[in-house]
A and B are shown apart, each in its own frame.
Chain A
Amino acid sequence: MPDKDIVTPTLRNPLGVGSDDSSAAPADAGQKADAGGPYEASLREGERLRERPHKAAGLAQIGRQHAKNRMTVWERIDMLRDPGTEPTILYQNWGPNLDGASIVTAIVQIQKRSVALYGHDFSVRAGSMDATNGTKLANLIRLAGAQGLPLIGMNDSAGAFVPAGIGGLDGYAEAFTALRKISGVVPSIMCMFGYNAGGGSYLPRQGSFMIQPSDTFFGLTGPGVVKTVLGEDVTADELGGPGVHGQSGVSDLTVKDEVGALRTAQRLLSYLPGNNHEFGPYQETSDPIDRPTGEIDTLLRKAFNSPTGFNTPIDVSIILQQICDHGDYFELQPQRARNTINAFGRLGGHVVGFVCNNSAVSSGQIDVDAAFKNSRFIRFCNLYNIPVIFMEDTTGFLPGRDQESRGIVQAGRAMLDSIIDLRTPRLLLIIRNAFGGAYAAFNCYAVGADHVMALPTTRVAVMGPAGKEFVYKKELRAMRNSARARIEEAIESGASKSDAERDAAAWMKEQEAAFNARYEKELMNPKEALSLGSISEIVMPTNVRAALAKNLNFFLSHYTPEPLQAVQREFH
C-alpha cells in the first residue's frame, strides 16, 4: 500500500438506484440481469443484439470520433431522416462480431420519400471494408436499383480492413460493381466525411454527386504515402481537401461541415427523381407561370445602354432566378468554371436543369472545365428525364495553347455529344452572343433542340467582329490599297514620309472602325437566323418566364419518363 491517499476516480454515481450494478455506462444498459425463464433470456438476448451495432464501439471510440468534431453514423442518420420516422436497418448484425461490421445500411424517410442509405461506422474498426461489409453494401446498392430508390452514402472509412486480406479488396470490388450497375438507374448523393482513401474515394465518385465538408480528405492515397513514394511534402487538405476537389469538379459541392453536407444532400434530393423512370418531384407553385419578367428587361437595358454597350458582362444567374418559381434554384459546382452555370430549378412546378453561359466570368467562354462541367450535368439530366433549358451568351470556345494542351477538343466534343444525345425536352434561349462553333454545339435545332427562342438582343453570327475580314473581303482590300495610294499622293504633294504614313494609318483605323460598325449592324443580329429557321421566335425580355413555361409544358406533355434506351457511343 502506498502511504499517500490515492483515490481511484470513477464517473459512476455510487448513491444512485441500482448503483450496485458495476456498469452504469449507457453501452451496457441492456444487460440488466432480470430474472425469468428461457423465454425472457432469449428476449434479453434479442434486445442486446438489436442494441449491439449502436453500442459495440464503446464510449472511448465514440469519444474519439466526437473529439474530431465528427458525428457517429447513428447521429448522422438521425439528422437526415424525417423527424418522427424510424429508419429500417438492414442486416443489423451482419459480421462475425455481430456489430454490423462497421457499416450501416438502411432505408430512411427523407422528405416523405424512401431513400436507401449507407454510412460507415468509423468508431468500429475505423469504418474499414472487409469481405462481409462489402457484400452488405453491395446488397443495399442493388436493393436501391431494384426498388428505384435514390441512394445516399455517408462515407467515412479508413479503407480496406488489412487483416481481412484480399477479402477487403473483394468487398470493395463487389460494391464498385453494384454501384456501377445502378448508375443511370437511380441517382446517388455521396457525402464525404472523415478521411477516405483509395477505394473509399473511387466508390463514392461512381455516384452522381459528391458533397465534401471542410476538414476532410479523400483521394488515391494520403500525404504519408505521397511523402514516402514521391518525397512530396503536402498536407491532407492540400492533397485532397474540398479546396482541391471543389476546383477540379471531383466534389460537386463543398460545404462548411457535416451538418451543412447533410442539409445540402436533403436540398439536392428535393430536385432528384427516385429513378430513371420518374420525373423529378413536381411541386405545385403559387408563382404564376406567366409572371412578367420585367427585371430581365431592366437588367439588359442597364447593361447594354451602359458605356461598354453590348460588351458588358451580365450575371446570368439573375436571369435564371427570374425564370424559376419564386426565384429559387440550386447551383451545382458553384466553386469552379462559373463561366457556365449548372443549376436545378423549377418552372411551373417541374424540375428543370439549367445550362447557362455566364458572361460575368471569363466572358462566358467555354473552356475545358466549363465543357466537362456542362457535359456531365447534361448527361445526368438525360438519364433521369430532367428537361434542360439552355441559355446562350458566349463568344465561343476558348482557344490557345493552354486550352489545346489540356484537350479542349476532347472536352468541347464531350459537351457537344452530350447535347446531341439529350432526349429530354430541351429548349434554347439565346440572350446575346451565339457565335460560330459555340452556336452550332449549344442546343441549336440541328443538334436536336425542341424549341429555339431568342431575345431581341441576340447576335448570331459565324464570327465575332473579326468576321468582317471575310464578309467584306474585297472592300477591305480596296480600302487598304487606297491607303497605300494616299501615302504616295501625300508624299508627292510634299508631305514627309512619316507624316504621310501616320495620316494614312489614322484614316485606315477610321475605315476599319466603320467596317466593324457595319458588320455589327448587318450581321450581328437574329435576322439571318430567323430567316433560316434557326430561331423559331423572338421573345421579349418581359415575357421570358411565360414563353419558356409554355413550351416546356408542351414538350413535357408529350414526353414519357422512361429509362434511356440507346446504343452505347464510343465516348462519354
Chain B
Amino acid sequence: MGSSDLYLNNPMTHRDRRLGESESDWVRSFSCEDMSILIVCRGPIRQEALDTFAEMGITKTGILLSEKDSIVYPRALAPELRRLDPSRVHAVADYTGATKEDRNARIAQIIQIARENGYEYVFAGYGFMAEDEEFVRSIEEAGLGFVGPGSRTVQAAGFKDEAKRTAERVDVSVTPGINDATGRLLLRKYGDRAALKSVASKNGLEVEELGDQSISMDIVADAVLNASYRAGIDLYTIDELAEQIQLEVESILETHPGSRIRLKAIGGGGGKGQRIVSLADQAPPMVREILGEVKTLGVGDNKNIIVELNIETTRHNEIQLLGNGEWCVSLGGRDCSLQMHEQKLLEVSITQEALGEAVDRERQAGNDGHATAIGEDLTILRRMEEEAERFGQEVELDSASTFECIVDGARHYFMEVNTRIQVEHRVSELCYSLRFRNPNDSEDYFDVTSVVEAMALLAKHKVRLPRPERIRRDPAAVEARLNATDQSLSPHAGGEIMFWSDPIEGEIRDDQGICFKNPDTGLFMRYKLAGAYDSNIALLVTTGDDRRASYEQLREVLRQTVLRGPDLQTNLQFHYGLVSWFLGNSVDAKPTTRFVVPYLTLVGELLDEANHIDVDYAYQGLCRRYLEAATGDPKAAKSTSEVAQLKATLLGRPLRRLLREPHLLSAWLSVHRKDFEVTNGRVTWHRNPLSLLTDTYLLLHMEATLDAPAAHRIWEQDQFVLDEGEAFYSAVTARVGDLPWPELDALLRGEAPATGFEAEEWRSVREAHFGFQLGTELLRLLPLLAEKVGFYDLRVNADLTITIPERLLDADHQTVMKKILVPPPVNRGDEIVSISGGMYYAQEAPGMPRFIAEGQHFDIGDPLYVVEVMKMFNKVYAPFSGTIDEILVEGDGLIIKKGQPLFKISPDEVAVVESPEEVRKRMRQRTLVFLAAINLEQN
C-alpha cells in the first residue's frame, strides 16, 4: 500500500547515504560502511539511528534492550525488535542505573557488550548518558569511538560555570548580573591588598592567597571571605551588604532601564530566599528578608546574594551546531518556547533566510509593525548564530551540540550548551544540509542531510572533513511532540494503541517503529504506552515554503491522524487546537514559555461553558420556532418538520463533537474567527453557514471523501444535502453575481424576484434557500460561546507579542480549569475495602517500610497494601487520591475478607451527587439563555 510505503521510504528522511558507492575517490574515502555501532538509548532516535546507519551502508548495528522495554509490561515490547536480528539485541537491566554505583556498573557493562560483540562505536542519542562526561570518557578510554561530542567538549561546553566563563571570554551574551557581591563589598571597603592583609591579620585569618601577587584581587577577596566563614566571624555588616546590593542593582538598571532585578541568596533554593525588585532602593529591606528566610542572619554565615537581571518574558531559542574540533557551523535555530513544565511541545525552525523573507513579505503587505518585530528576531538570530559558532570553535566542539539561549524582547542571553543531539534536530536538518567539498576540486562534493549521519561521519573521519557549507533545504520546518497525556497535558500511562492511520505525504513520523506492522501478517500490532520512561510517543515533523505553510501541513497531519485503542489518551487534539490557534492569529507571534498553561486554561473555560449546552434541546427549540412561524400553512408546516428532521444529524453531529472536545472547538474558533462577527450578543455570518458546515466537517476529519468507516465520515444523506446546497448557491451566484453573504442572504429571503427570475422560479429559489439555511442557526452557538468565555481575549498584538488576559494567569483558576478538562476520579465512600480475601500485609516484605500511615496522603496508583492469596503476594493500588484517616486492620498476616473495610479515608475529590434529571434541567436552562440570543434566519 502506498501510504505504508511512506512510513518506510519517506523521501523527506530516507535516502541512500552510502558514500562508498560514489564515483569520486575523494567522496568514497569518507565511507562509513565498515563502522560497527552499538546504540545505547531508546525512543524515536533509536529507530532513526538504525535507519540512518543502514542507509549509510553500515551493516553492523546493535541495540541495548532494557527490562522496561521487554519484561515489565505486556505489549510494550520494543517495536524495533520486529526488524532486528536477535543477535543484534543485547539485554541490560536499564540504560542508566538508579545510583552512582549502578551507573558505573552499567558503563562497564556497556563497554563489555561492545567489546564482546565487536562494536567499535557507541551512539547514545539524547539519552541520559549522552552528555555524561564520565560515560563518554570511559568509552574513549576503553578504546571505543563515541558518536557524539567527546569528553573534552562535554567538559568545556557542558559544565555550566566553565561554559559561562568561556562565553564571557569569547563575547557571548550572558545574563547580566553578579554572583560575588560580598567579594566586591570587601574590595570596596578595603580597597587594596595591603588593607585586606591588615584586616585579615587583625581578625586572625590565615589566607595564603594574600601573599601571592599573581592571584587576582576578586579571588583573594573570596579567599578572605571563606576564611572568615570558617572562623565564624563577619567582615561586613548586613547594612553594608544591603548598600552594596543596592549599588549593584543600580548599576544593572543603568544598562537595562525598565527591567526588574532578581536577588537570590546563595544558600537559597526551591524559590526560597528570592526577591524581585524594580528600583534600587527597594533592595536593602529585601536583603534582610532574604537572609532571614534562608536563616543566614547569624555571625559568620555566608550572606552572599546573587544579583541578576530578571528575565520577564522568556522565549527559548537554540542553535544547532556541528563541528569537528577545528571548524564549527551553525544549522540555524529553533524556537522551543511552546512548552509546559519544561517539556517542549512544539519546536519551530528559525533561519535567517526565512525571517528575512518574512520581513520583506510583511513590509510589502504594509505591516510595518510585524516587519519590525520579525526583523528584531532576525537580528537576534544572526547574533546567536555568530556567538554559537564562536563558542563552538572555542571549545573545539567535535560533533553535534545545541547552544541554548533565552530571548527577552530584543535581547538574548546564553544559557547552556547541550553536548548531544536533541529530540528536535530534524527541524534543523530539514532546513539546511551540509555540503562537504573537495578542497582540490570544487565540483567534487557530497551532501549530508541528517544530523545523525553527520555525527557518524564526524566520529569516523573527524578532522579529515573539510569545513562544510550549509545549503538551504526547506525554508521552514516544525515539530510536534505527540505525547501520552490527557486533555490537560498530564501524563497518562497505560493506554494501548490498536490503530494508527498511515502517514500522509509530507509527514515525518518518528515513532520508534510503533507503526511498523507485524512483518508476517501486515496487521498493526497493539502497543502499550506503559509510561516507563517519559510520555513521548512520537515526533511529527512537517516542512513548508514558509512558516505558515509548515504549520498548515502540520495541521493537516494532525487532522488526518487517527489513533485508537483502549484507555488511550494523547495530546494530538491539543496540538491541533494550538497549531490552529497560531494559524488563526499569527504564525509569527512570539509566545513565551508561559503561554501554554494560560492557553490550556482558556480551553478549559470553553469546555466549562460547553458542558452546559444541550445541542439536541437547542435544535428542538429552533425547530419549534420554525413550526410556530409556519402555523396556518399545513403544507409549509409539514415540509418544515420534514426538513428539520432530515437535517438533525447534519447539524447536530459536528456541533456535539465540538462542544464535547474543547481542543477541536478551539481549533474551529481560531480558524473561523473571520467568518463571523458578534455585536451586542448577535451573530452575523460573513459567509454562507452551509459552506461553513462543509468546512467544519473537514476540520473534524469527517469529510465525505475519506477512506474510512462510514461511522467516521459525514453520513451519506447529510453529504447529499451539502452537495445539493453547494450546487444551488453556485447556480444562484452565477445568476445574481458574487454578493457578500449578508446581501445574498437578504436577497434570497426577499419576496421580490431578483433580475431575470420569474415569480414562480423565485418562489422555488426562496424555498430552497430557506430549506438549506433552516437550522444552521445552531452554528451560532459557537461564536456565542466564544464571546461568553472571552476566547479572543488571548490575542496577538501588533508587535507580535501575545496578550494573556490576567484571569488566565491566576493559579487557582488554572487548577479549576484543569479539573474541568480532566475531572479527577471521585469516590463516594469514606472507606477503602479489600479487593479480595486473603492475608493482609502493610508492606512489600518484612523489614521494608509500610506503604501508608495514618494521616498520610496517597495518590491514585500508589500501593496501599499487599494481600497474600494462596502464597502469592498481590500488591493493591489506590483507585483514587485521598488521605488515610484511620487504618482499620492492625498487624501483618491478618486474615481479611473480600469487601472488608481496611482504611477510613478522605478522598481528594468528593462526588457531588446530581441526578440525571437535575443535570438535564440545568443544561436546558443554560441552553435557553444561548437560544434567546439566536434569531431565526427568517424574515
| B173 contacts the other chain (CB 8 A) | no
- Judge whether B870 and A298 touch: CB under 8 Å: no
Most chain A CB within 10 A, of B77, B710, B836, is at: B710
Most chain A CB within 10 A, of B70, B499, B519, B718, is at: B70
Query: Given A5-B751, A16-B731: A292 and B645 within 8 A (CB)?
Result: no
Per the bound structure, the CA–CA distance linking A69 and B713 in Å amounts to 11
- Judge whether A298 and B711 touch: CB under 8 Å: no
| A246 contacts the other chain (CB 8 A) | no
- Judge whether A283 and B520 touch: CB under 8 Å: yes
| B891 contacts the other chain (CB 8 A) | no
Chain B residues, Cβ within 8 Å of A8:
633, 635-636, 639-640, 767, 770
Per the bound structure, the CA–CA distance linking A14 and B732 in Å amounts to 10
| A96 contacts the other chain (CB 8 A) | no
Query: Given A66-B649, A292-B86, A363-B871: A258 and B765 within 8 A (CB)?
Result: no
- Judge whether A295 and B70 touch: CB under 8 Å: yes
| A305 contacts the other chain (CB 8 A) | no
Chain A residues, Cβ within 8 Å of B566:
256
In the complex formed, the residue of B with least CB distance to A286 is B519
| B75 contacts the other chain (CB 8 A) | yes
Distance (whole angstroms) from the CB of B733 to the closest CB of chain A: 10
- Judge whether A10 and B649 touch: CB under 8 Å: no
Per the bound structure, the CA–CA distance linking A360 and B72 in Å amounts to 12
Distance (whole angstroms) from the CB of A141 to the closest CB of chain B: 26
Per the bound structure, the CA–CA distance linking A256 and B496 in Å amounts to 13
| A78 contacts the other chain (CB 8 A) | yes
Binds A, one of B721-729, B804-812, B917-925: B721-729
Per the bound structure, the CA–CA distance linking A148 and B427 in Å amounts to 55
Chain B residues, Cβ within 8 Å of A24:
724
- Judge whether A79 and B724 touch: CB under 8 Å: no
Query: Given A63-B646, A259-B712, A363-B869: A14 and B761 within 8 A (CB)?
Result: yes
Per the bound structure, the CA–CA distance linking A292 and B65 in Å amounts to 14
- Judge whether A307 and B845 touch: CB under 8 Å: yes
Chain B residues, Cβ within 8 Å of A311:
868, 871-873
- Judge whether A327 and B643 touch: CB under 8 Å: no
In the complex formed, the residue of A with least CB distance to B626 is A9
Chain A residues, Cβ within 8 Å of B711:
69-71, 75, 79, 257-259
Binds B, one of A260-268, A470-478, A555-563: A260-268
B753-785 near A? 1/0 per residue, CB < 8 Å? 000000001001111101110100000000000
| B230 contacts the other chain (CB 8 A) | no
Distance (whole angstroms) from the CB of B721 to the closest CB of chain A: 5
List CB contacts (< 8 Å) of B702-737 with chain A.
707, 709-712, 715-718, 720-721, 724-725, 727-728, 731-732, 735
- Judge whether B771 and A5 touch: CB under 8 Å: no
Chain B residues, Cβ within 8 Å of A260:
498, 564
- Judge whether A59 and B717 touch: CB under 8 Å: yes
| B844 contacts the other chain (CB 8 A) | yes
Per the bound structure, the CA–CA distance linking A63 and B720 in Å amounts to 12
| A7 contacts the other chain (CB 8 A) | yes
- Judge whether B870 and A325 touch: CB under 8 Å: no
- Judge whether B521 and A75 touch: CB under 8 Å: no
- Judge whether A7 and B766 touch: CB under 8 Å: yes
Chain A residues, Cβ within 8 Å of B932:
none
Query: Given A9-B771, A308-B844, A328-B521: A15 and B709 within 8 A (CB)?
Result: no
Chain A residues, Cβ within 8 Å of B648:
63, 67
| A157 contacts the other chain (CB 8 A) | no
- Judge whether A11 and B771 touch: CB under 8 Å: yes
Binds B, one of A312-320, A507-515, A525-533: A312-320
B293-319 near A? 1/0 per residue, CB < 8 Å? 000000000000000000000000000
- Judge whether B848 and A313 touch: CB under 8 Å: no
- Judge whether B717 and A26 touch: CB under 8 Å: yes
Chain B residues, Cβ within 8 Å of A105:
none
- Judge whether A11 and B724 touch: CB under 8 Å: yes
In the complex formed, the residue of B with least CB distance to A300 is B71
Per the bound structure, the CA–CA distance linking A71 and B710 in Å amounts to 7
CB-contact partner of A10 in B67, B73, B643, under 8 A: B643
Chain B residues, Cβ within 8 Å of A325:
520
Chain B residues, Cβ within 8 Å of A75:
709-711, 716
| A506 contacts the other chain (CB 8 A) | no
Chain A residues, Cβ within 8 Å of B731:
13, 15-16
| B227 contacts the other chain (CB 8 A) | no
Query: Given A66-B717, A363-B872: A13 and B727 within 8 A (CB)?
Result: yes
| A25 contacts the other chain (CB 8 A) | yes
Per the bound structure, the CA–CA distance linking A69 and B717 in Å amounts to 14
CB-contact partner of A365 in B764, B770, B870, under 8 A: B870
- Judge whether A326 and B518 touch: CB under 8 Å: yes
| A299 contacts the other chain (CB 8 A) | yes
Interface of A is mostly: loop
| B197 contacts the other chain (CB 8 A) | no
Number of interface residues of B (CB under 8 A): 83
- Judge whether A60 and B646 touch: CB under 8 Å: yes
| A382 contacts the other chain (CB 8 A) | no
List CB contacts (< 8 Å) of B643-661 with chain A.
643, 645-649, 652
- Judge whether A9 and B86 touch: CB under 8 Å: no
In the complex formed, the residue of A with least CB distance to B835 is A362
List CB contacts (< 8 Å) of A1-58 with chain B.
2, 4-16, 24-26
Chain A residues, Cβ within 8 Å of B772:
11
Per the bound structure, the CA–CA distance linking A362 and B711 in Å amounts to 39
Query: Given A66-B649, A327-B77: A13 and B71 within 8 A (CB)?
Result: no
In the complex formed, the residue of A with least CB distance to B82 is A326
Distance (whole angstroms) from the CB of B811 to the closest CB of chain A: 36
B109-148 near A? 1/0 per residue, CB < 8 Å? 0000000000000000000000000000000000000000
A386-417 near B? 1/0 per residue, CB < 8 Å? 00000000011010100000000000000000
- Judge whether B767 and A349 touch: CB under 8 Å: no
In the complex formed, the residue of A with least CB distance to B724 is A13
Chain B residues, Cβ within 8 Å of A62:
715-717
List CB contacts (< 8 Å) of A332-362 with chain B.
346, 349, 359-360, 362
| A285 contacts the other chain (CB 8 A) | yes
Chain B residues, Cβ within 8 Å of A317:
74-75
CB-contact partner of A284 in B70, B498, B520, under 8 A: B520
| A288 contacts the other chain (CB 8 A) | yes
Chain B residues, Cβ within 8 Å of A482:
none
B880-901 near A? 1/0 per residue, CB < 8 Å? 0000000000000000000000
CB-contact partner of B520 in A15, A67, A285, A400, under 8 A: A285
Closest 4 CB pairs of A and B: A363-B872, A307-B845, A75-B710, A9-B771
Binding site for B on A (CB under 8 A): 2, 4-16, 24-26, 59-60, 62-63, 66-67, 69-72, 75-76, 78-79, 83, 256-260, 262-263, 267, 270, 283-288, 291-292, 294-296, 298-299, 302, 307-308, 311-313, 315, 317-318, 320-321, 325-328, 346, 349, 359-360, 362-365, 395-396, 398, 400, 464-465
Binding site for A on B (CB under 8 A): 65, 67, 70-71, 73-75, 77, 81-82, 86, 91, 93, 498-499, 518-521, 523, 525-526, 564, 566, 629-630, 632-633, 635-636, 639-640, 642-643, 645-649, 652, 707, 709-712, 715-718, 720-721, 724-725, 727-728, 731-732, 735, 751, 761, 764-768, 770-772, 774, 836-837, 844-845, 848, 868-874, 938-939
Q: 15 extra interchain contacts, Cβ-Cβ under 8 A, other than A2-B632, A24-B724?
A: A9-B643, A10-B639, A26-B717, A66-B717, A66-B718, A67-B652, A263-B499, A287-B520, A295-B91, A296-B71, A311-B871, A321-B74, A326-B519, A326-B520, A396-B870
12 chain-A/chain-B pairs, Cβ below 8 angstroms: A2-B632, A6-B636, A10-B764, A10-B768, A14-B764, A76-B710, A298-B91, A313-B874, A317-B74, A326-B81, A326-B518, A395-B871
